[in-house]
Structure 1
């Protein structure tokens, strides 16, 4: 049987291999990563918030010190109308772990109940919202890629308890001022797959169509929705994928 094997790591072969070692390779050597225990980040993670300070974050508006509230329980809470915060460091494609909770005391409804968001490259929003007994447009509900992709499931825990997002983000590719490859997002919410390698169509505006500004690496941004959302975050870390 004749043919070519084009799989990465294999040399091209004109004939079917007859020995097992002909289809085995030993490079590149796979790096060793030690998993975290009891919720701790893995050994190669970049910790962006460990509960002690906001040193890795700045105000999006003017790059001054972040003004959100650091709590005694190792979390931080949106300080109403102080604006979005973003990381000092820029990232490309990443694995992101982030935990968030809405307040147990219910206030507001629809998009005005515990509304925040996680923005990849500072541009593409994964929605944070308390949707427990609180309907809204489904492409803007919790776990949506805002105004683009409805989640496959609503997997929130009860209001006031901690949610987990594990996000795989591959940034778009641009050449000569044009997008040549769309970015993608995978989101696992409390262990449930809710976004399955979906295509990022562009930015995620409240009004208007997605846009595709040329960009490279960018910050991770957390939203102050400006309506007393009182959303809290903790245990934020990333692993760089590029």
Structure 2
């Protein structure tokens, strides 16, 4: 009779869940192992934490080579920064990377000239798959009061994803990118198993939120994938006529693959 009354008032499930809750313990949902690795943060925001690989320390380009022929990188290093030498072409890291967290800082000259895509144009290629502009590009450009197509402005995944916000500082001020890159995976037959994704913070503002890439960056046409493994990080020497930009404080933390 009691159970019939409880069922009539819809209370059987309530009593059952209350009984189960009484038997559960907080400890049942506590996870103690494996413990996350210890990473000591930098004393200064933006500088490399423990375990990071410093790619540019303001003094030397020893971690970089020419993308064209793998000769030593020959951009200009002075006053703690490296400035693009457009005549020398793109540079890329000696090491290849797969999944990682990247920090870099870049400066559009205060006396920048030009307009649209011809104003401080450069880019960071998150996996350089060829000697020229092959790979996956996050755009660098003066987008402070400088109009262009939105999937080509600063912090866009070039020709794929416009940024969620325009967080650009004015020319003459240093800007930051903090990027989490998850490389694409390919199966044994060379087919795409999982696409690349990227998260970008521009000057501390979220501008790409785990964006899924349709393939490598192309200037004309639709992006597509071709099989590749770990690849270098590349900085672009764009051929536009505006004054060259500079970089400083570049470091990378390699990440384990997602489970």
TM-score by length of 1: 0.91
Match of 1:78 in 2: 84
> 2:221 and 2:76 mapped to 1: Cα distance?
32
1:178 matched to which residue of 2?
191
Deviation of 1:71 after TM superposition, in Å, equals 1.2
Length-normalised TM-score, structure 2: 0.85
- The answer to whether the aligner puts 1:159 opposite 2:159 as a matched pair is no
C-alpha deviations, 1:177-205, integer Å up to 9, x for none? 10011110111000111111110110111
Query: Aligned partners of 1:58 and 1:106: how far apart in 2?
Result: 27
TM superposition outliers: structure 1 runs of 4+ over 6 Å: none
17-26 vs 168-177, greater mean Cα deviation: 17-26
Q: Kindly report the root-mean-square deviation, in angstroms, between the aligned alpha carbons of the 2 structures.
A: 1.4
Query: Is 1:237 matched with 2:251?
Result: yes
* 2:240 pairs with 1:227: yes
> Aligned equivalents of 1:106 and 1:116: distance in 2?
13
Matched residues, number? 228
CA distance in structure 2 between the aligned counterparts of 1:121 and 1:143, rounded to whole angstroms: 16
> For the residues of structure 2 that align with 1:117 and 1:225, how far apart are their CA atoms?
8
- Asked if 1:90 corresponds to 2:68, the answer is no
Deviations 1:127-149 (A, max 9, x none): 00012221111110111000000
1:143 is the counterpart of 2:176: no
Q: 1:10 matched to which residue of 2?
A: none
| Secondary structure in structure 1 of the residue aligned to 2:145 | coil
Q: What is the rounded CA distance, in whole Å, between the counterparts of 1:63 and 1:45 in structure 2? A: 24
SS of 1:210's equivalent in the other structure is: coil
Counterparts in 2 of 1:210-221, with a 5 A limit?
210-221=223-234
Q: CA deviation at 1:22?
A: 2.1
- Spell out, residue by residue over 1:40-67, the C-alpha distance to the aligned partner (whole angstroms, 9 max, x if none): 2101111100001100000000000111
Say if 2:59 is the partner of 1:52: yes
The residue correspondences of 1:122-133 to structure 2 (distance < 5 A) are 122=128, 123-133=135-145
- Say which structure is richer in helix: 2
Aligned counterparts of 2:118 and 2:206: Cα–Cα separation in 1: 25
| 1:174 Cα deviation after fit | 0.6
